[in-house]
Amino acid sequence: MIVKYDELAHLAMRVPLIDLKSQYNKIREEIQLAIDKVLQSQQFILGREGIELENEIAAICGMRFGIGCASGTDALLLALLALNVKEGDEIITSSYSFFSTAGMIAWLKAKPVFVDIDPDTFLLRSEQVAGKITGKTRAIISVDLFGQCCPVDQLQELKLPIIEDAAQAIGARRNEQHAGSFGIAGCFSFFPTKNLGAYGDGGLITTNSEEMNASIRKLRMHGEGKEKYLHEIVGTNSRLDELQAAVLRIKLKYLNDWNRQRNQNASYYCAHLKDLPIKLPKTESGNFHTYHQFVIRTPRRDALKSALEAKEIGCGLYYPYPLPLQPCFKDLGYQAADFPGAVEAASQSLALPVHPELTQEQLDFVVGSIRDFFQQ
């Protein structure tokens, strides 16, 4: 049986949700040279490209350390392990995010404690967090969803470790402070469809803590310390390989321009869809939004999705199920009424193409198709 991944199935559409082919064609020569350089070196793990990428992203985020790893999921897992999270600990996080945010908490047999989201921004409602703290609370995972930073001011006042899930927000800023710099660890994903995407899986953790940096570097290498084959702790194998790092270093040069283009595309949608009966994404005051996704909301979401797909316009559901209501978390006892913001988002949200490769003709076609749907 062939399993298709919906997010990539849109590539063949008239207006794909993500257009990785067009992006590649624009930087093909640079990418091929970078890959060939790695192939010539025959150093594929923990080499110069990975070290340089770690340093470059740490510098962009204003952080002392960057540690590459195998995926954004592993970035969260390694950060939790470095905080020594154990069975029975509680980690407070958002009810609306990609599964890894909560999944890695549960993987360590800790308990995810969920809070609702702001229905306008999709971001964790920071004011609800204090009421969820117990004697077992070990940390908070904030989520920079869809490309904008979580409002962490109230969270920082709680004096708990914050792991920032910045998987979707590289390049985003809050009051000119970069995503990945708001907690003890910032966790990034380089999944191919991200604003900065690899040609496979990849992730990275930023931190200012020497202790976290040392611990994560051991953990990603099976717990190995300074002496080879001498394991000081039990870790895992989670490293960002040289080929992916080389690709990411080329793409990193274009990231600011790509994020600005995403903003321009988002502004175009907002200007031309504002009179329709849909909720447009809201940007928090002080935030620079990088629009990993441009997510609208409408009670007619499913019908609109079908109409757009019939015209070969890619669109996606991010995310159709709130985390607390996932079957694997049923033993936690949460009810839909506990998370009205997340439940509404799950039933009404639809992501439109916003990638920087969109042409004006494609933007006009998307806008015209949505207007046609609501005028029927």
* Cα 202 to Cα 204: distance, rounded to the nearest angstrom: 7
Strands 90-94 and 111-115: parallel
| Residue 1 confidence (pLDDT) | 40
According to CATH, the topology of domain 6-21+254-375 is Aspartate Aminotransferase, domain 1 (3.90.1150)
Measured between alpha carbons, how far is 63 from 3 in angstroms, rounded to an integer? 39
- What's this model's pTM, rounded to 2 decimal places? 0.95
Sign (positive or negative) of CA dihedral 344, 348, 351, 352 = negative
Number of H helices and number of E strands within the chain?
A: 12, 12
pLDDT of the residue at 376: 84
Token duo for residue 306 = 């079908």
Q: Which of 366, 340, 351 is nearest to 145 (CA)?
A: 351
Q: What is the pLDDT along the chain (376 residues), one digit of tens a residue?
A: 444 445 555 456 899 999 999 999 999 999 999 999 999 999 999 999 999 999 999 999 999 999 999 999 999 999 999 999 999 999 999 999 999 999 999 999 999 999 999 999 999 999 999 999 999 999 999 999 999 999 999 999 999 999 999 999 999 999 999 999 999 999 999 999 999 999 999 999 999 999 999 999 999 999 998 899 999 999 999 999 999 999 999 999 999 999 999 999 999 999 999 999 999 999 999 999 999 999 999 999 999 999 999 999 999 999 999 999 999 999 999 999 999 999 999 999 999 999 999 999 999 999 999 999 999 8
183 alpha carbon, distance to own chain's centre: 16
CA distance 1 to 340: 38
- Spell out the SS3 assignment of 288-327: ECCCCCEEEECCCHHHHHHHHHHCCECCECCCCCCHHHCH
- 239: burial class by Cβ within 10 Å (0-12, 13-18, 19+)? buried
Residue ranges of the chain that CATH labels 3.40.640.10: 24-252
Q: Give long-range contacts, CB 8 A cutoff, 24+ apart: 335-338.
A: 338/114, 338/116
Instruction: Round the CA-based radius of gyration of the chain to a whole number and report it.
Output: 21
Question: Which part of the chain has CATH 3.90.1150.10?
Answer: 6-21+254-375
CATH number, span 24-252: 3.40.640.10
C-alpha to C-alpha distance for 116 and 126, rounded to whole angstroms: 9
User: What is the spatial distance between Cα 369 and Cα 376, in angstroms, rounded to a whole number?
Assistant: 11
Q: Which of 323, 359, 353, 317 is nearest to 341 (CA)?
A: 323
Predicted pLDDT at 4: 47
